[in-house]
Structure 1
Amino acid sequence: MDPVELARGWGVRARSVRRPEQGTNNAVWTLDDTYVLRVYRNLGLDRVLAEHRLLAALGPAGLSFRVPTPVGPVRETADGPAALFEYLPGTAGRRGADGEALGAALGELDAALGTLDPGLAPTDWRVSLDEVHPAVPGLDVLLGDLRAACGPHPGLDRMDRCARETDAAYRKMLVDLPVSICHLDFAPGNALLDGGRVTAVLDFEIAGLDLRVNDLAAGLAQSTDTAEEVAAFLRGYRSRVDLTDAELAAVPLLADLRAMSSLVWRAGRWRTGLSTLDEVVERLDEIALRREFAVA
């Protein structure tokens, strides 16, 4: 795949091309520090168009930071839908160090997403672990396949013990707690900062309907390591969103569920040849070493 040739479909003649240091789901290039070219390897055309409609709806929301702005139409390629975006300058956030600013940005984003029509959600993530990835026929089948491929692993043991109970608790939360459009992949690498201020939030690829507090759980899991970092991120988030006590109490279980969902998603990519077994094992390691979140 030649990004220079591909960019010409939008009338762009790129002179310099570079790849970001992170990101495993899609093919992404920065062109002349003016555009970002993305080829989606996980989503079909309909989902990509839905993501772009959501981004367009966020434009008038009065956010203090920017979100990606598509340039021109989405184009279909042999490798997946391709889209061109305006390049957004800034420095990627740092895990732990920028916690309060990152938490406030996620809270501001969730407050804005909560005002939008749920029909704008590109997908609905209120599903069981069996339904996270279309290439995974069921959790029991997947765990059997992984035991055959990986051998004994404490992450698989924990999945055996906890997955069904965690899934059932989540289903009850869907009845009791607020549901909204969520970003669901908020991490320091998906936020850009300048002088300690968040200037952009990126990567809405997996945005969809879910428990509002699941966005906080995802952000904490991907942005913090210590109790102090959790407290800073949570302080920033709660300056923008008035969480209920029940939502706060749900965070530890949702953090576990996210780790399990991430494993199922990565294993689905492994089953379709898009991820390596080593990447799946990394998710199993995370499940085995799960830590508790103190979110009083």
Structure 2
Amino acid sequence: MSLDDAATKPHDRLARQFAPKMEAVNALIRARMASEHAPRIPEVTAHLVEAGGKRLRPMLTLAAAAICGYEGDHDERLAATVEFIHTATLLHDDVVDESGQRRGRPTANLLWDNKSSVLVGDYLFSRSFQLMVETGSLRVLDILANASATIAEGEVLQLTASRDIATTEATYLQVVRGKTAALFSAATEVGGVIAGASDEVTGALYDYGDALGIAFQIADDLLDFQGDSAKTGKNVGDDFRERKLTLPLIKAIAKADETERAFWRRTIEKGAQGEGDLDHAIALLHKHRALEETLADAQGWAARAQAALAKLPAHPVRDMLGDLSDYVVARVS
């Protein structure tokens, strides 16, 4: 690896590696988000799609296909499919979470309304299924349809678990597997499937995506308490203010004494938050080493992602995916 490569973030190297393919993917996205009869659809979609996201999930599909030697263009359709599913879930999530900001910009539901966000999300889900059908692979359809159902299931589970201080780490992991890791693992698995890879290779690609997605989400949860808001686009403590029970909080609550549990019940379950509560919450996270233990969990999942890659054919892109699994955790360590 050159010094130039070493200084570049892994997703930037992936973007450079797949620049021609991603141009084709972006052209597909623009073409398929068009609507002759409802101009609001491309307006709302473009606001989110053109907001400067890293396009990480579609690049994972292209990367997986490349590692497996694929040379056609169905990987581009699947990459666009994955991005549409991701964008649809973001539109729906922002309505559910009553969010006002996404990637440092006002959310679609704030600029337009909740109805528009939900309906345009539905439109993108429909477009995603049209794209995946065009590959002619029932197995691809099965994988991505299952992922879409799992994402929705994870979101519904989060509704009931996120403000209940009895929520366990096992339930948290189930939520994360649904809302984040399901699309990562589907994105990598279908890249192998479309290339005709063996079950062992597609299984390893699934395991990599699953572990990467979990590490990614845990790291994001950590950044909420110790990140740089200028880089993350979120204010420190947003999850606490929104009463989301993420892994650091779950770990601290598990070790809480009765006085501390009363604090968590008031601030998370009842939502009665006042000045100084965020600082006290962060102090409790430090007291119980919740941030350090959460980071260790993220590092463990990154190591699982690396182990899965070891089962894949040697390829320069495989090395980039290894760097990526390290980077998602290095953001917070």
Shorter-chain TM band: 0.3 to 0.5
Larger radius of gyration: 2
- The TM-score with structure 2 as length reference comes to 0.31
Name the structure with the higher helix share.
2
Name the structure with the higher strand share.
1
